[in-house]
Chain A
Amino acid sequence: EIVLTQSPGTLSLSPGESAALSCRASQSLSTKYLAWYQQKPGQAPRLLIYSASSRATGVPDRFSGSGSGTDFTLTVTRLEPEDFAVYYCQQYFSSPYNFGQGTKLEIK
């Protein structure tokens, strides 16, 4: 079973700044089957990034994903007020398709 560890647990930043969220896998994801989701209170998660670096339809180019193997990063530049939310990574390379525990991006 692949375990995903996200860091930091909470990230406090101001609008206009940039955020880097980390997701580390316990085993290599050789197919880069790694997704990032954004979740706001009371809402379903929204797919942002798939295959580690491909943006989902309608996602602003301020969001970008990178990484391979066991280390992946979601970068959000020029933070907007609506970007403050919880972010989850998920691997869909090997069942069970586990999620990370989440990173909360909060307004400083």
Chain B
Amino acid sequence: QVQLQESGPGLVKPSETLSLTCTVSGYSISSGYYWGWIRQPPGKGLEWIGSISHSANTYYNPSLKSRVTISVDPSMNQFSLQLSSLTAADTAVYFCARALLGTRGGFDPWGQGTLVTVSS
């Protein structure tokens, strides 16, 4: 079955750039679907960050668009998130997920999530 796993630093400094990678197993990214990033600040709700296709078509949340870059590496079966100019408000659990077939925004399955803390 399809499984996703986030990886990256757990602690980053303010003003720096966060880089996270999602490794997909059990399915080839090149075969299709959109793939997304979602985040959840501690104790709060879910926020869609953006989605990318296997051919690198991207859709971003306008609230984050100026700071976000999502990329895909089909050869590694991975997709990545970069978020720049970090502040404490970016502290959150970051999830990667596969979008529902034919869509860009309903998600199943999800990775387990990785906590990123922004602090000096």
Binding site for B on A (CB under 8 A): 1, 33, 35, 37, 43-47, 50, 56, 88, 90-92, 95-102
Contacts and interface: CB of A to CB of B under 8 A. Distances in A.
Contacts of A45: 46, 95, 107, 110
A44 B45 contact: no
Of the listed residues A45, A90, A98, A102, the one surrounded by the most CB atoms of chain B closer than 10 A to its CB is A45
Closest 4 pairs (CB-CB, A-B): A92-B105, A97-B105, A47-B108, A44-B110
B61 A96 contact: yes
A90 B110 contact: no
A99 B46 contact: yes
Contact of B45 (A43, A95, A99): A99
B66 interface: no
Interface residues of B, number: 24
B106 A47 contact: yes
Interface in B34-57: 45-48, 51
B39 to A, nearest CB: 11
B88 interface: no
Given A96-B61, A98-B48, A99-B46, A33 B105 contact: yes
B112 A96 contact: no
B48 A96 contact: yes
Contacts of B104: 92, 95, 97
Contact of B100 (A1, A92, A100, A102): A92
B60 to A, nearest CB: 8
A103 to B, nearest CB: 11
Among A37, A50, A97, A98, which residue has the most Cβ atoms of chain B within 10 A?
A97
Contacts of A95: 59, 61, 104-105
Nearest to A35: B106
Contacts of B45: 88, 99-102
